[in-house]
Amino acid sequence: MGALSIHVTGRVQGVGFRYHAAREAARLGLVGWVRNEPDGSVLAHAEGPDPALAQFVAWCGVGPAYARVRGVTTLPVTPVGGTEFAVTY
């Protein structure tokens, strides 16, 4: 089990990135959250099995159809626990 902070840059706001990310994370059995940042990027906190985290990071590198991901940065963080993956504001 691990936890990651995931920062995604590019055209990732206004394209449904957060909602698609939440659906993908839930499908992978991850918990955490995803939100838009003031600079136009997206930030996520994801917790779960390492293989699922790796799959989620790979998905973040592509995103939904209208996204144009420029970069994905991950940072290991301390798990905080949770029961779902939520879109936050």
**The one catalytic residue among 11, 23, 35, 36:** 36
**What phi and psi, each to the nearest 5 degrees, are found at residue 27?**
-60, -35
**The one catalytic residue among 18, 23, 27, 68:** 18
In angstroms, what CA-CA distances link 7 with 37, 61? 9, 10
- Known active-site residue 18: yes
Indicate if the alpha-carbon torsion angle 17, 23, 27, 29 is positive or negative.
positive
- Known active-site residue 70: no
Which residues are annotated as catalytic? 18, 36
